[in-house]
A and B are shown apart, each in its own frame.
Chain A
Amino acid sequence: MDCDLFKYLWRLGKGESHRELGEAFTTLRSHEASCSLCKAWVTQELALDQHLSQELARVDVPVDMIKRIRQRLATPPTEPVPIKANPMRGWNLKRVAWVAVVVLLIGTGTLILLPQPKPVTDDSWNLFWDDCFAWEVSPPDRDRVSAWFATMGIRTELPLDVNYQHLVSHGLAVWDGRLVPQLVFANPSSSGGRPSIAKVLVFSSKQFQLDSLFPLPGSQGGTRSRIDFLPESNEKSLYLVTHAGEKLDWLIESMVSTTQSESR
């Protein structure tokens, strides 16, 4: 077991008494016994945990607080005092209410017409770092990417036969005024020193007449980019892949790639 994985699982299990980890618990224990660095790390972690627990609990409780709580619970709740009727009250309230409504309408209109720049808050930074952490701990798979598109209001069938471990980015591209899901894959270990990049656009039959995509145009002059379809494209979803002309065996898991441009 890798030391980083050990630390991650140890922290995960810490909140659950390690029992819920099942078999992984045995592996954790054996790694801890065999790795002196991790053993020392666990000792430090436990010491820090204990220190924080003790420090946080070090608050002096006020004398007689319990007595005061009991007194308050024993006091019956007070009845609200009725407000005396004031003949002018209703009239004034009506005027104030009308003025408030007018001010509110003007204010709302101004706010709508003049959008204010938004400050970058701590909360937005927290969400950002949470996303970074989540991506590092477990990069998104097909289901999570599909779920993300669903939150953006796009229901889509993503390709099954591609290696999502190479996914580096996902988002929406604009194609002829419509939003199209886009997946970007990269293979850092490709030959030639530069990473291979492949961009996959997902065309749905609900958005486009898929027949009109045929035949695929060849490469335009001045660009090295080539376009192909992923073999698993079907009548409901067409997966258009843009790449620099290298083989796509690192991307397509089944390796059955009959490229459109080769057939031409």
Chain B
Amino acid sequence: MAQLVEEWIDLHADFLYRLAFRFCSNSADAEDLVQEAFLKAKENEDNLTSGPGEGRAWLVRVMRNSWLLKLRKDRRKRDWDPAWVGEILQVPSEEDATNRFADIQPHLDKMPWTFREPLVLHYLAELSYREIAQQLDVPMGTVMSRIARGRSWLRNRLGLRGSD
């Protein structure tokens, strides 16, 4: 089974890091989240199954839970605004700076969490509306409307074409 976790690292580590970075906008936190997800996989390796797509879904779920737990622990979920937290409390590394000022990230940072999370899960993790509804424990119509409004938000700020 340890071999399965090794396999997952090769297959999913890069994807998981991208997702984590879009969640927390910070490379150090993102890498921590990825490491924690694989540590949990190692701790639970006897219960893991190797079906197609299961590893990725399992890791996404575990990482999302860790991130929400961290937000709750820091008691900063409500007031959380990575844009100013990043600018005021930390001097970003060169790597952070490259990613931070990539086209989409500043806009994503300002997006409310309720839109940002389903949007990232849909477009980056490629989860269907149904899977996102299951993960977030909300009705599918809610997922649709949140993704539509998040998408509309980004489209307007990026100056892209399209309609609501």
CB <8 Å contact, A133 and B160: no
> In the bound complex, how far is the Cα of B39 from the Cα of A192, in angstroms?
72
Q: Which of A41-49, A145-153, A200-208, A231-239 contacts B (4 or more CB under 8 A)?
A: A41-49
CB <8 Å contact, B38 and A123: no
Distance of A219 from chain B, by nearest CB (Å): 43
Residue of A57, A61, A66 touching B10 (CB-CB under 8 A):
A66
8 Å CB interface, A18-63 against B: 41, 44-45, 47-49, 51-53, 55-62
What would 13 more interface pairs be, CB under 8 Å, given A47-B161, A62-B95? A15-B122, A15-B128, A44-B161, A44-B162, A45-B162, A52-B119, A57-B124, A58-B103, A65-B17, A72-B38, A130-B142, A134-B145, A137-B141
CB <8 Å contact, B160 and A59: no
> In the bound complex, how far is the Cα of B158 from the Cα of A48, in angstroms?
11
Of the A-B pairs whose beta carbons lie under 8 Å apart in the complex, a sample of 7, sorted by A's number, is: A15-B122, A47-B161, A47-B162, A52-B104, A59-B21, A69-B38, A72-B39
CB <8 Å contact, B18 and A59: yes
* Known contacts A12-B129, A59-B18: A48-B162 contact under CB 8 Å: yes
* Known contacts A15-B130, A45-B162, A73-B38: A52-B151 contact under CB 8 Å: yes
Categorize the interface residue count of chain B: 35 or more
* Known contacts A11-B148, A60-B98, A122-B112: A73-B103 contact under CB 8 Å: no
* Known contacts A44-B163, A72-B35: A59-B103 contact under CB 8 Å: no
> In the bound complex, how far is the Cα of B126 from the Cα of A39, in angstroms?
24
Residues of A contacting B: mostly: helix
Find chain A residues with CB under 8 A from B102 CB. 55, 58-59
> In the bound complex, how far is the Cα of B126 from the Cα of A70, in angstroms?
26
Find chain A residues with CB under 8 A from B5 CB. 73
CB <8 Å contact, A52 and B130: no
Distance of B129 from chain A, by nearest CB (Å): 3
B22 near A: Cβ within 8 Å? Answer: yes
Find chain A residues with CB under 8 A from B18 CB. 56-57, 59, 61
For A134, give the chain B residue with the smallest CB separation. Answer: B141
> In the bound complex, how far is the Cα of B16 from the Cα of A62, in angstroms?
12
Find chain B residues with CB under 8 A from A137 CB. 141
> In the bound complex, how far is the Cα of B120 from the Cα of A78, in angstroms?
35
Find chain B residues with CB under 8 A from A223 CB. none
B13 near A: Cβ within 8 Å? Answer: yes
Distance of B68 from chain A, by nearest CB (Å): 14
